Amino acid sequence: MVAAGRGERLGEGRPKAFVDIGGRPLVWHALRAASAAARVTHVVVVAPDGMEDDPALAGAAAVVPGGSTRQHSVANGLAALPADTEAVLVHDAARCLAPPELFDAVAADVLAGHDAVIPGLPVVDTLKVVDAAGMVTATPDRAALRAVQTPQGFGRGVLERAHAAAVERGDVDAPDDGVLVERLGLAVHVVAGHADAFKVTRPQDLLLASAVLARRAAAV
């Protein structure tokens, strides 16, 4: 679970994963969901340097410091997994409301034999490809597009190979781990994402997250 980001766009003056929603830090909510997933057996949290002992991380099996990039942080977390771990889920704590069933769906697909599995939602907006001058050069067919989320799942050996190859290429800031596996030339399978697995990035996302929590509380 990657929780080492600075969260500058959120404007809260502290690491994003430790900003509160519903009275608890984002990473607390993310840990709670991961721990509730039937197929998750061990959670390693990658935290900002110096915050490894924060009470919000008490549910983790292990906590390690983050790196200079997201990719470096994932590599740190991967290295901290038990030696007998065969399948790995990589999750951004900023997607703190991804439900347990999404973790289980991704894990099940990896265990069924896929090298890499990512959740995604259909794109509802029309997207344009724009050049440096601001001119539209293409309009992709949105039926073939997906907005990608986490958790993303991988065979451990595949993910380790993908990270090692990225280091050899000098590719140190990929947007997600699925891209690194694509660059190995391996297939990446997409499963249905979940509306609640949105990424908290801007202040308005905190309002949306609070509304989701309120909706869940009312449904209990």
pLDDT score at 14: 82
* Angstrom distance (rounded) from CA 84 to CA 79: 12
| CATH placement of domain 8-219 | 3.90.550.10
The pTM of the full predicted model, rounded to 2 decimals, is 0.94
pLDDT score at 99: 98
As a 3-state breakdown, the chain gives helix, strand, coil percent values, each rounded to 5, of 40, 20, 45
pLDDT digit string (tens) for the chain, length 220 residues: 999 987 677 766 788 999 999 999 999 999 999 999 999 999 999 999 889 999 999 989 999 999 989 999 999 999 999 999 999 999 999 999 999 999 999 999 999 999 999 999 999 999 999 999 999 999 999 999 999 999 999 999 999 999 999 999 988 888 899 999 999 999 999 999 999 999 999 999 999 999 999 999 999 8
pLDDT score at 73: 95
* C-beta contacts of 101-106 below 8 A and 24+ residues apart: 101/37, 101/194, 102/149, 102/151, 102/193, 102/194, 102/197, 103/33, 103/34, 103/37, 103/39, 103/40, 103/151, 104/37, 104/38, 104/39, 104/40, 105/191, 105/192, 106/151, 106/152, 106/153, 106/191
- What distance lies between CA 206 and its chain's CA centroid? 17
Beta strands in 40-160 (DSSP E): 44-47, 62-65, 87-90, 116-122, 129-130, 136-138, 146-148, 152-155
Q: Exposed, middle or buried by CB within 10 Å (0-12, 13-18, 19+), for 179?
A: middle
Cis upstream peptide for 140 (omega within 30°):
no
For the chain, what are the domain ranges?
8-219
Which tokens in the block code for residue 213? Answer: 């929590």
pLDDT score at 11: 66
